[in-house]
Amino acid sequence: MFNVPENVKACVEIDPWLKPYAQVLSERRYLADKFYYDITHATADGSEQTLSKFARDAYKSYGLHANPQTKEITYKEWAPNAKNAFLVGDFNNWDKYATQMTGKDEFGNFYLTLPPTDQNEFAIPHDSKLKVMFQLEDNSEIFRIPAWITRATQPSKETKEQFGPAYEGRFWNPPEQYQFRHERPTFNESRDSLRIYEAHIGISSPDPKVTSYKEFTANILPRIQYLGYNCIQLMAIMEHAYYASFGYQVTNFFAASSRFGTPEELKELIDTAHGMGILVLLDVVHSHASKNVEDGLNNFDGSDHQYFHSIASGRGEHPLWDSRLFNYGSFDVQRFLLANLAFYIDVYQFDGFRFDGVTSMLYLHHGVGAGGAFSGDYDEYLSKERSAVDHEALAYLMLANDLVHELLPESAITVAEDVSGYPTLCLPRHTGGAGFDYRLAMALPDMWIKILKEKSDEEWDMANIVYTLTNRRYAEKVVAYAESHDQALVGDKTLAFWLMDAAMYTDMTVLKQSTPVIDRGIALHKMIRLLTHALGGEAYLNFEGNEFGHPEWLDFPNANNGDSYHYARRQFNLVDDNLLRYKFLNDFDRAMQLCERDHQWLNTPQAYVSLKHEVDKVVAFERNGLLFIFNFHPTNSFTDYRIGVDQPGTYRIVLNSDREEYGGHNRIDENVRFHTSDLEWNNRRNFVQVYIPNRTAIILARDQ
């Protein structure tokens, strides 16, 4: 009945429900293939080049570059709306007309080569300030930071008073560049699990200040290694003039944020992480850009449609984010964004990307309003009449995944922040999918917060919890998490605060007996995280500080709080204080990560859930030969509780949330071995009988 084109046949074989939409999927793939062809044949003679070469050639030619042999500096800028271009800065005493660039070519590019000084030194001193000045057709003049600048800094107090708050471009050309010492860790999803620690450099200190790359390297990387995470996701690295934007209003796409330190110090951070066997992902923002004009891309060459859709088109501005939206169908925009990915992989040695705002990119309605209410009906994504998919943005995302996996064949990781559930987003490109390795399981934190806000413990619906945790598309991997930075922001509450509220300020000391509120909070905090970890996905993510139940929200300095840093920090001092109970949650998180490392369940097929008992509040399931048992009942403990298990043998406890060192009550004898009985139970061929106290989770592994 339905003809399935060859280029998406593998995709349809994975999900037969896609069959009626095979032609639409094929057309979308053809558009990506067309972009791919145009890019890989964009050579002077029309010969073919790789996507990697295209992206690398772009970042190595555009922008400012210093030749250490000849001491020449080259500069190339794309500005089709400009008539003339001049480079100005400290090096020429800000003489507007002293250093004119070669007139633009047929593509709108301006060029400049600066010979060395008479002393055979670079004509532009390292870290000196500069800008590009464009003359427009009406002879007006505008000053901009070069679009491909690799360093931009906050203005000094004097400069800010004289010229305003715009950031300043810098020529980064250090005499001693950082040399990487460690190989990248490899990553193979069939062999390795992915345990992600989401972090923001600036807040990574108990002190009310902006933490530096060096401080993060010295103080936070060892914590991450100790906890057992094997991947870090760094937020807010791409330069953003407004700190309180959390890094999501990018002004300078090739500049690593200077408020945390220098580019060389970021390289050292990543290299040190690699030496610890830890992968590093960049939270990349290609979904939109800051509206800033003087220090961003907005109106860069005097037009509003150079990098973005025009305002008049109705597609140039995000309706909620007050930001500009890229024109992903433009060859020049594709070059800029793909080169941006290659730059961070090559220059800083990032191992992949978490793509921010993928839902906004995928749809013309950006997931806003009625259009963003996704029910899961395939027509919403794939119907020619009903879907509002931005085909050019989807094609760009396919190219981006092609590029990242081409550049990093041994370690590439791409994660999509998509709440819509777009089918095939996380299927490989060769099958007809978009090529992401993972998508964030964004429904999970919403579920947990809704439960904690609206349900008493007796009302928890075990079946609904399990359904939400396991409801994901076949063969499309997800990153499970109980909370991320979104749930830590001001106006919301972390899970720990939902559980324990103000008692965290008075009752977390071990010098007095635990209260019912704290006892419940610590127990459920551990269980929620372990259940999410074990059942919710094929990778796991934690936002820094949440592993030990950080007591406060996150609020960056802004006008509303008097520019205070009081909440723009993570209080690691709490977990280091042996007199406080935060250490229990921290140590359980470590035990959970190390248990997964040693026994592995994330990179294995979904669990088989054998029990969801609504009265007893018990959930049991098997995954990769492990038996997971959770008793969420607020008061009832169960002796000789029968749990079905498929594989016969002798089982032992490998993780127990009730240990005293995890803030539990030590009610379980971990020396006990559990022998299976050859009798079918809950559709499993055998069963074991266990003691499972209230608000406790255990993991059993079979003795080999």
What confidence tens digit (pLDDT) does each residue in 342-384 have?
999 999 999 999 999 999 999 999 999 878 889 999 999 999 8
Tokens of 562: 């008097």
User: What pLDDT does residue 386 have?
Assistant: 87
Distance CA 618, CA 465 (A): 12
Angle, vertex CA 346, rays to CA 343 and CA 352, nearest 5: 85
**In this predicted model, what pLDDT tens digit does every residue of 486-512 receive, in sequence order?**
887 767 788 999 999 999 999 999 999
Read off φ and ψ for residue 331, nearest 5 degrees.
-55, -40
Note the residue count of the chain.
704
Q: Which of 148, 170, 192 is the last residue of a domain?
A: 170
- CB distance 239 to 167 below 8 Å: yes
Distance CA 667, CA 231 (A): 34
Tokens of 544: 């820094």
Is 667 within the bounds of a domain? yes
Is 160 within the bounds of a domain? yes
Predicted model pTM: 0.97
- CB distance 416 to 436 below 8 Å: yes
Is 637 within the bounds of a domain? yes
Residue 72 among the catalytic residues: no
Return the percent helix, strand and coil in the chain, to nearest 5.
Answer: 35, 20, 45
Residue 106 among the catalytic residues: no
Number of domains in the chain: 2
Distance CA 319, CA 168 (A): 29
Tokens of 370: 């009625």
- Residue 648: CATH number of its domain: 2.60.40.1180
Please state, as a whole number, how many other Cβ atoms lie within 10 Å of the Cβ of residue 139.
Answer: 8
C-alpha closest to that of 339 among 198, 473, 157, 147? 147
Catalytic residue among 283, 294, 356, 380: 356
User: What pLDDT does residue 1 have?
Assistant: 61
Please state, as a whole number, how many other Cβ atoms lie within 10 Å of the Cβ of residue 242.
Answer: 15
Catalytic residue among 417, 418, 538, 622: 417
Q: CB-based contacts of 167: which residues, under 8 Å, 6+ apart?
A: 145, 152, 153, 154, 155, 239, 241, 251, 252, 295
Is 110 within the bounds of a domain? yes
- CB distance 211 to 264 below 8 Å: no
Which structural domain range is residue 163 located in? 73-170
SS3 readout for 414-453: EEECCCCCCCCCCCCHHHCCCCCCEEECCHHHHHHHHHHH
Is 429 within the bounds of a domain? no
Q: Which of 170, 192, 213 is the last residue of a domain?
A: 170
Is 323 within the bounds of a domain? no
Question: Which segments in the chain show pLDDT lower than 70?
Answer: 1, 162-163, 490
Is 305 within the bounds of a domain? no
Is 287 within the bounds of a domain? no
| Beta strands 626-631; 696-702: pairing state | antiparallel
Distances (CA, A) of 436 to 103, 201, 286, 427: 41, 26, 15, 7
Residue 130 amino acid letter: L
- CB distance 109 to 96 below 8 Å: no
Q: Which of 127, 154, 170 is the last residue of a domain?
A: 170
Burial of 168 (0-12, 13-18, 19+ CB in 10 A): buried
Output the DSSP codes for 269-302.
Answer: HHHHHHHTT-EEEEEE--S-B---STTSSTTTTS
Distance CA 123, CA 127 (A): 12
User: What pLDDT does residue 73 have?
Assistant: 98
User: What pLDDT does residue 160 have?
Assistant: 75
